[in-house]
Amino acid sequence: MNTHGNVVAAEHKFATKSELDLIKAVQGGDKQAYNTLYHQYIGQVYGLCYRLTGEKALAEDAAQEVFIQLWRKIGNFRGQSKFSTWLHTVTSNVTISYIRKQKGWVQKMFNIEDSAAMNEEADASSSSVDLESYVVRLPERARIVFVLHAIEGYRHEEIATMTNMAVGSSKSQFHRAKQLLEEWMKDE
Amino acid sequence: MSKARIEASLNEKIAELKKDKQPERDLWPGIELAISKEDFSGLQHSRVERRKKYLAVAAVVMFGFIGWFTISPQFVLLTGDDLVASLSAQHEAQKHELLVKLRSQPALTENWQDQLAELDDAANAIKLALENDPNNMALLKMLQSVHQQQISIIERVHSPKWSQI
């Protein structure tokens, strides 16, 4: 048992070390290493982008933007936290700012939320409707807050800073999202 | 379903949620293209920056030379007879300007013009000596000293009495 524990710890240490080597190579401008890093993390990045944007095409563009920004910012990573945690923050910030840029001027001026998605039926390809298809139907602000707080574990204070909204608004958006999801699930 | 059950089900779904999701299209070519363009423009940018630095250095050097030639032409461009002529011309201009400026003020002594004339004679004697030895630094310094004495006399005799106390 103890030997197994040591092996697991050693494997984890090895993985961390090889990842750090990879990151150092990327910091040195190695594009091949960056391609490896991309394949390692695209699932995590795209998954978060998709839940935040609620649209496949927008999520793909946002994920590309994340990896372009990451190439510029990776020099700032000093290894003080886990790379995945750091990348997570970069992804959230870049995607939120990407969503803001993509919003039309009408939405910007009148703060109209897209309600079309709300009226769409959830993807019922599987017998049990999965949470993700509900989440992407949520209105934009409620969706972002729900994803960041309930799924990704950010505090409302952090979300408020990331999204430029008041802490109270973050909390009320979260309750709104929860209410909508529970309502939809009731009809399941 | 009861509210509590729905909430429990929601929490269950959140816990079960698979976070990784693969995009339908390959995003790497677009990323690679963007970062390659960035590297190229970065390279171009650094080239432009380097060129700007060279231009700035060249401009500083050029202005330095121009400034040096403009500010001290007598020491750089002129030698011998030309230098003496230039020093004399500059002194005459300075003396004339000072006399015009102090014209309205009464002179404190009667013989200040005689003193100037004596110093003029001394300057002429030095200039004569410089004709034979135009680059003699000792003679050039003496000439400058005589000129300076003339300026001092003009200023002194025209300054108000209270400033001499």
Return the sign of the alpha-carbon dihedral for residues A32, A33, A36, A41: negative
**Which chain B residues are closer than 8 Å to A59 by Cβ?**
23
Predicted pLDDT of residue A144: 95
CB contact under 8 A, A182 and B25: no
CB contact under 8 A, B34 and A68: yes
Res. A54 pLDDT band, cuts 50 70 90 = very high
B94 contacts: CB under 8 Å, gap ≥ 6: B151
Mean pLDDT of A146-173: 94
- The candidate with the shortest Cα–Cα distance to B23, out of A176, A156, A61, is A61
Q: List residues in chain A touching B: CB distance below 8 A.
A: 29, 31, 34-35, 38, 42-44, 46-48, 50, 56, 59-60, 63-64, 67-68, 71-72, 130-132, 150-151, 178, 181-182, 185-186
Whether residue B52 sits in one domain with residue B102 = no
Residue that wins the pLDDT comparison between A51 and B138? A51
Res. A89 pLDDT band, cuts 50 70 90 = very high
- The pair of three-digit structure tokens given for residue B139, joined into one six-digit string: 């003679």
Whether residue A156 sits in one domain with residue A91 = no
Residue type (1 letter), A80: Q
pLDDT digits (tens, 9 = 90+) for B131-161: 888 888 888 888 989 999 888 888 888 776 5
- Say how far apart CA A152 and CA A141 lie, in whole Å: 15
- Say how far apart CA A73 and CA A68 lie, in whole Å: 9
B5 in contact with A, Cβ within 8 Å = no
Residue that wins the pLDDT comparison between B79 and A105? B79
Predicted pLDDT of residue B104: 77
Does the pLDDT of residue A172 top 90, yes or no? yes
- Say how far apart CA B119 and CA B142 lie, in whole Å: 11
Residues A179, A145: contact at Cβ < 8 Å? Answer: no
Res. A113 pLDDT band, cuts 50 70 90 = low
- The structural domain count of chain B equals 2
Chain A interface test: which of B9, B31, B36 (most A C-beta within 10 Å):
B31
Q: Which residue has the tokens 């790497």?
A: B28
Nearest CA in chain B to A129: B13
Chain A interface test: which of B1, B21, B26 (most A C-beta within 10 Å):
B21
- Say how far apart CA B90 and CA B39 lie, in whole Å: 60
Give the domain CATH number at A45: 1.10.1740.10
Whether residue B114 sits in one domain with residue B51 = no
When the pLDDT of each residue in chain A is averaged and rounded to a whole number, the result is 82
Residue that wins the pLDDT comparison between B95 and A111? B95
Residue that wins the pLDDT comparison between B113 and A110? B113
Predicted pLDDT of residue B30: 93
Nearest CA in chain A to B36: A31
pLDDT digits (tens, 9 = 90+) for B86-129: 888 888 888 888 888 887 777 777 788 888 888 999 898 888 88
Give the domain CATH number at A164: 1.10.10.10
Residue A115 has phi, psi (to 5 degrees) of: -100, -5
On whether residue B3 sits in a domain, the answer given is no
Residue A141 CB coordination number (10 Å): 19
For residue B54, give its domain range.
25-71
On whether residue B150 sits in a domain, the answer given is yes
- The candidate with the shortest Cα–Cα distance to B91, out of B64, B123, B126, B59, is B123
Mean pLDDT of A99-108: 67
Res. A107 pLDDT band, cuts 50 70 90 = low
pLDDT digits (tens, 9 = 90+) for B21-74: 999 999 999 999 999 877 655 555 556 666 777 778 777 877 776 766 665 555
Whether residue B93 sits in one domain with residue B57 = no
Predicted pLDDT of residue A150: 94
Mean pLDDT of A56-77: 93
SS3 string, B23-75, reads CCCCCHHHHHHHHHHHHHHHHHHHHHHHHHHHHHHHHHHHHHHHHHHHHCHHH
Res. A6 pLDDT band, cuts 50 70 90 = low
- Say how far apart CA A102 and CA A96 lie, in whole Å: 10
- The SS3 of residue B131 is helix
CB contact under 8 A, B10 and A185: yes
Q: Which residue has the tokens 């190229």?
A: B40
- Say how far apart CA B36 and CA B42 lie, in whole Å: 10
Whether residue A119 sits in one domain with residue A78 = no
- The structural domain count of chain A equals 2
CA distance B24 to chain A (A): 8
**Lowest-pLDDT range, A98-102, A174-178, B72-76, B79-83?**
B72-76
